[in-house]
């Protein structure tokens, strides 16, 4: 069955960077986009961006442009999200999600908590 296994909790100080991973299994990795969505405590879902793992093309939310980088490694079926210049408002659970056409998310990872605190 499809599984998206995300890396574990990360704790960072303001100004630092974080890189979290999402390893896919149970389907052909290169035939689906991967979206990234985050959810701050007590808040709603926020779209961050997506990547086409086959060709590496990306699209980012304007809210994160310049701070977020999505990459993929087809040899390990893993997608990475790197977020830089972290601030306390970036404290959130970050989800990856398999997306057939880059529009909706069909399957979700379990989420990765990123905590930013001095």
Residues ≥6 apart with Cβ < 8 Å to 59:
49, 50, 102
Is 84 a binding residue for another protein by CB under 8 A? The answer is no
Which residue has tokens 């990475």?
Answer: 80
Among positions 31-60, residues that touch another protein (CB under 8 A) are: 35, 37, 44-47, 49-50, 59-60
Q: Which is nearer to another protein, 71 or 111 (CB)?
A: 111
| Collapsed DSSP state (helix, strand, coil) of residue 90 | helix
Task: Let me know: does 14 contact 116? Beta carbons within 8 Å.
Answer: yes
* Residue 10 within binding range of another protein, rule CB under 8 A: no
What size, in residues, is the chain? 118
Q: Is 18 in the site for another protein (CB under 8 A)?
A: no
Residues that bind another protein (CB under 8 A): 35, 37, 44-47, 49-50, 59-62, 95, 103-111
């Amino acid at each position: 069955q499809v599984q998206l296994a995300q890396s574990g909790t990360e704790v960072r100080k303001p100004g630092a960077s974080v890189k979290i991973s999402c390893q896919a299994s149970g389907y052909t990795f290169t035939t689906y986009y991967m979206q990234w969505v985050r959810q701050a405590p007590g808040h709603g879902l926020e779209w961050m961006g997506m990547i086409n793992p086959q060709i590496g093309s990306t699209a980012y939310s304007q809210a994160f442009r310049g701070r977020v980088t999505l990459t993929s490694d087809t040899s390990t079926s893993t997608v990475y999200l790197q977020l830089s210049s972290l601030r306390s408002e970036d404290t959130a659970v970050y989800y990856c999600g398999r997306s057939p056409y880059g529009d909706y998310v069909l399957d979700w990872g379990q989420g990765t908590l990123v905590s930013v605190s001095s």
